[in-house]
Structure 1
Amino acid sequence: MTNIRNNEQSRVDIESAELLDADINVQMHPKSYYMPISVPSSIHNQFPNFVYGSHSSPPRSLLGQEKELSSLYVFSINQPFSIDGKTNHPLLISEDINGKAKRAYRLSSDRFLSRVTTGDHRVLATVKIYSNLAEIIQPLGKLPIEFSNEDWNDIRSDSVTLVGSNVTVTQQSITEKKKSLNNAQVNVRAPSSSNTETKFIKATMIDETRNLVKLIDKDISKEPIFFTTQPDHIVYDNELPQIKYYVNFTYDTTDAVYLSYLRSNLNWKTRYQLNLFENSKPATLIAMADIRNDGQSRIDIESAELLGGDINLEKYQKTHYMAGGYAKFESTYADMAPGAAGPPPPPSVGKGEELSGLYVFSINQPFSIDGKTNYLLPMFRPRVTVERYASISKHFYSAGNVNGKADRAYRLSPDRFLSRGNCIIRESDRLVGETSLPDVAAKNKHEFSIGQDADIVYKENSTLVSSYTTNTTSSPYGPKQSRTQSIYDVVLTLKNYKNRPVKVEYQQQVYGQSVKLIKTSNSNYTQEGSTIKATFTLASDEEKSISYKFEQVN
């Protein structure tokens, strides 16, 4: 399907047309793309009343077989057609081009019901919430479908399409409309007004784009006069009409049809709280799903899915998480009938299920989110193991003296997938820092630090032992290249000022064409690639000095 856009105000009637495609050096507006997808039969069973017969349509414009012309391709349109102002007019591409089969895709997914509020219109729909937007699927109602300007700003216009088990979209249009004020009665500042006296008189709007009005000002003429006034000199009797968007389709089907689109004002992220304890009590990790409704209207959701992982979905505008009120569970069920058995248990988020490298978290109860509100739901309670240690991680540049403090570091390993999110860390019921967790696979280890430890200090003295330069060549006739081989002696001194033992992990990244750790009597040091590592245990108030040598070739 291709998409033709008329960005002017007036309708265009086209008798015949050609579309040219290839590497053409002409500036043009961004394209919009429309992609039909399929919906599984489970959704149709949930909407038995939305069954449509076959929709016949008048002969529709199709793009014919392409012709090559000077390395460009020309597609002829075989029917006359019209495009209203501010309207997208998609056309079907001929099904058989040069005898080649179409590239076909069959997309399917399990979908859940929900209730979505769009302005004053409430319909049942499917909601799948991602980290930056949400996919909405709702039964198709009366055409054309109307969206307010506020709602449309949060919708990806290129994602609006019809879905169904066997629906075929033959034509689609997206039109921007606003009721004209031409011929409307308004009040304008009279031309005969002075700086000390202002008069407003009735007038007829002739052309709202130019603010051209017609009126009778007796101080000037008894006959109607026309003049262009300033926008702030016009007073309206009624509220000004708002821009609205209308989406219309022509389609063929024998089954239920649904409207699908992406909206950017509904999204989610994960919040974590990691609780650590001094004794042998295991660490606990609390996960909460933070769902944000950044729109103005309330959303009632029957059921939904949260999707986590590295998902490549883009939106046209950013949505920021803002401080706002949190919806209460009680408000979701405030309108229950008297004498009911009481509210059902509050919603919760189920264990994530892996799907093609992503993880799907199902919500088991209906819930509502007011506009401009963050709604937090409890998620799974993973089992985690957390190892504390002091970390010294640095880079080697040249010989000299370096001193500093170790970082307070942690090594976390969960028993299930963790979606990325912010994590607050508490030790013995005290807030000690926060970090951003990435997506962490089950049983994988993630290392992070949250600040320096003033009680663990180090000094490092690096001395150049020897250095010499040689000229080498890869072939008898090739250019000569110089190589500098240097040997350094490093003395690391650690001091623990705590009244308890501490584990310290040290690593130094050395840059060079080759790096080699020279054997030393201290077996703590090892080499991984160009990084030299060591692990030490310092007793209470202990100071320890350890040395090693390495060779660097540049």
Structure 2
Amino acid sequence: MKSIVTLALAATLGAASAADLRIYPSFSEVREPVQATGPTLTVTLPEAAWAGLIPGTLDLDGLTFSGAVQRQGAGWLASLEGKTVYVKRDDGTAEPVTLIRARDLLVRDAQGRYRTVRFEDLIFDVLPPPNPQAPTQTLTFTLPQPGTGTLTYLTRAVTWAPRYTLKASTGGAQLSALADIRNMSDLAYDVKGTELYAGDVDVQGGPPPAPMMMESRATAGNASADFAAPKINSLGELRGLYRYALSTPFALPANSTVTLPFLTPKLTLFERYAGLNTYFTPQNTDGTLSRFYRLKADQRLPGGSMTVREEGRIVGQTSISETPKGEEIEFSLGNDPDVRYTRTVQTVGSEKNAQGNVVKTTYKVTYTFESSKDRPVRAEVTERVGGRRITIDGTAKGQNAAAELRVDVPANGKATKSFTLVVDNS
């Protein structure tokens, strides 16, 4: 019989897996180089790698294979079966025993007696890996010929998100961003090359993992004394996705968040105002306006959370979606009790059809704003109107139009603004 020699390459992902990462908001593509010098390539993955892996995404890139078999293997502790380990006695000394079965921690002592022990009472001559009792998953690829390639898979365990800080003062405003790269697994990564992608990318394979507790956070500034923080550089657009790259390799510890400086866009527009977004009703109304902000940036902004500070103090948080360069961002941070409004509606006239039904009505809507602030404030109202044909202040607007009011309210003063509305449903 002809002898066939099979070379099994064990690419075990241990304390730190050397890999390239392409990180998206809800998943990552892990890319790890592999090499086979024979007709078989065996890759052994610990349970930590499988915890967030998206099923059906394991593949070999650049290396053709004719078949692959996945099986669950024994964990690290099972490799010690039949070997000597030690059990801690009540008096603190170590008793040598033979590990018989790893799955239920059955041991045999020097007198030949069997008993089960607790894992925390076991003592080893070598450093055990994380989760030493967990089984491993093994993939065996059959190759037409040896070569080098890249093992790839998608995982929910590694994600990223930008977070912005808007610092406003009487002199203007500044916008800056940080990038949080999160590893929610027990597997550490020694990352050689990193790309970050922002945008709407959906993949199949179950929901994302639960958010990580804040106690697990590790930042670029304190991860280690000799940590050389990489810079994040823009790589432009890829089919509607924003693409960035880290300038240097970095370590992504298990169960951690690495935070890096991200963007410092220049604001081409920044405005504060007291605002109201509402719908038309013929009834009189009153209430308070909300604290609104409006801004534009000179570069693309990936979606993320935003913290707003005024004079160094936090005044609210919000979130923004992916925003192209120069597109307006508008958001509210809640009510402003110092700016109130009173809205009155007067029916100016109406027209009826032959059946006596009102088909056209003209209204005059008046807003009176009152501010108790010691400085002037801009008040803006957007009032949306439903109907077949809408005319606002003599200008035809078509269907589902909006009336917009802008007025400066003096300090501790009042201001009034009106518009005429014609709703024609004939």
Give 1:545's aligned residue.
416
Give 1:264's aligned residue.
156
Give 2:405's aligned residue.
534
Summarize deviations over 1:274-328 as a string: whole Å, max 9, x none: 101113xx42112100011111233222331111122233452322142124435
Q: Is 1:245 matched up with 2:141?
A: no
Q: Which has the higher strand share?
A: 2
Report the alpha carbon displacement of residue 265 of structure 1 after superposing the two structures with TM. 0.9
Q: Give the match's secondary structure for 2:49.
A: helix
Q: Is 1:447 matched up with 2:303?
A: no
Q: Is 1:411 matched up with 2:294?
A: yes
Q: How does 1:196-211 map to 2 (within 5 A)?
A: none
**What amino acid does structure 2 have at the position aligned with 1:374?**
T
CA contact (8 A) 2:392 2:420 kept: yes
CA contact (8 A) 1:352 1:417 kept: no
Give 2:183's aligned residue.
293
Q: Could you tell me how far apart the structure 2 residues matched to 1:333 and 1:494 are?
A: 55
Q: Is 1:510 matched up with 2:385?
A: yes
**What amino acid does structure 2 have at the position aligned with 1:499?**
D
Report the alpha carbon displacement of residue 492 of structure 1 after superposing the two structures with TM. 1.5
Report the alpha carbon displacement of residue 273 of structure 1 after superposing the two structures with TM. 0.8
Report the alpha carbon displacement of residue 366 of structure 1 after superposing the two structures with TM. 2.6
CA contact (8 A) 1:332 1:367 kept: no
Q: Is 1:305 matched up with 2:195?
A: yes
Report the alpha carbon displacement of residue 528 of structure 1 after superposing the two structures with TM. 9.1
Give 1:169's aligned residue.
65
Of 374, 387, 390, which residue of structure 2 is paired with 1:499? 374
Of 454, 461, 464, which residue of structure 1 is paired with 2:344? 461
**What amino acid does structure 2 have at the position aligned with 1:288?**
L
Q: Could you tell me how far apart the structure 1 residues matched to 2:181 and 2:145 are?
A: 36
Change (3 A) 1:527 1:118: farther
Report the alpha carbon displacement of residue 236 of structure 1 after superposing the two structures with TM. 3.8
Q: How does 1:306-345 map to 2 (within 5 A)?
A: 306-319=196-209, 320-327=211-218, 329=220, 343=226, 345=228
Of 423, 440, 454, which residue of structure 1 is paired with 2:306? 423
Count of paired positions: 368
Q: Is 1:365 matched up with 2:284?
A: no
Report the alpha carbon displacement of residue 242 of structure 1 after superposing the two structures with TM. 4.0
Q: Give the match's secondary structure for 1:152.
A: helix
Give 2:279's aligned residue.
395
Of 3, 9, 28, which residue of structure 2 is paired with 1:134? 28
CA contact (8 A) 2:220 2:258 kept: no
Give 1:156's aligned residue.
54
Give 1:487's aligned residue.
362
Percent of aligned pairs with the same amino acid? 24
CA contact (8 A) 2:340 2:369 kept: yes
Q: Could you tell me how far apart the structure 1 residues matched to 2:228 and 2:118 are?
A: 48
Q: Could you tell me how far apart the structure 2 residues matched to 1:441 and 1:372 are?
A: 33
CA contact (8 A) 2:391 2:397 kept: no
Report the alpha carbon displacement of residue 447 of structure 1 after superposing the two structures with TM. 0.7
Change (3 A) 1:253 1:423: farther
Change (3 A) 1:352 1:451: farther
Q: Could you tell me how far apart the structure 1 residues matched to 2:245 and 2:43 are?
A: 29
**What amino acid does structure 2 have at the position aligned with 1:157?**
P
Q: Give the match's secondary structure for 2:391.
A: strand
Report the alpha carbon displacement of residue 141 of structure 1 after superposing the two structures with TM. 5.1
Q: Could you tell me how far apart the structure 1 residues matched to 2:263 and 2:67 are?
A: 45
Q: Could you tell me how far apart the structure 1 residues matched to 2:147 and 2:12 are?
A: 25
Change (3 A) 1:366 1:537: same
Change (3 A) 1:241 1:176: same
**What amino acid does structure 1 have at the position aligned with 2:213?**
M
Summarize deviations over 1:359-409 as a string: whole Å, max 9, x none: 111111332232221111011311113111111211123x21110111111
Q: How does 1:38-57 map to 2 (within 5 A)?
A: none
Report the alpha carbon displacement of residue 174 of structure 1 after superposing the two structures with TM. 2.3
TM-score under structure 2 length normalisation:
0.76
**What amino acid does structure 2 have at the position aligned with 1:367?**
F
Report the alpha carbon displacement of residue 547 of structure 1 after superposing the two structures with TM. 2.8
Give 2:89's aligned residue.
none
Q: Could you tell me how far apart the structure 1 residues matched to 2:31 and 2:150 are?
A: 6
Q: Could you tell me how far apart the structure 2 residues matched to 1:536 and 1:328 are?
A: 46
Q: Give the match's secondary structure for 1:512.
A: coil
Report the alpha carbon displacement of residue 158 of structure 1 after superposing the two structures with TM. 0.6
Give 1:120's aligned residue.
14
Q: Could you tell me how far apart the structure 2 residues matched to 1:149 and 1:441 are?
A: 41
Q: Could you tell me how far apart the structure 1 residues matched to 2:187 and 2:136 are?
A: 17
**What amino acid does structure 2 have at the position aligned with 1:274?**
L
**What amino acid does structure 1 have at the position aligned with 2:406?**
T
Report the alpha carbon displacement of residue 546 of structure 1 after superposing the two structures with TM. 2.9
Q: Give the match's secondary structure for 1:155.
A: coil
- Bigger Cα Rg: 1
Give 1:106's aligned residue.
none
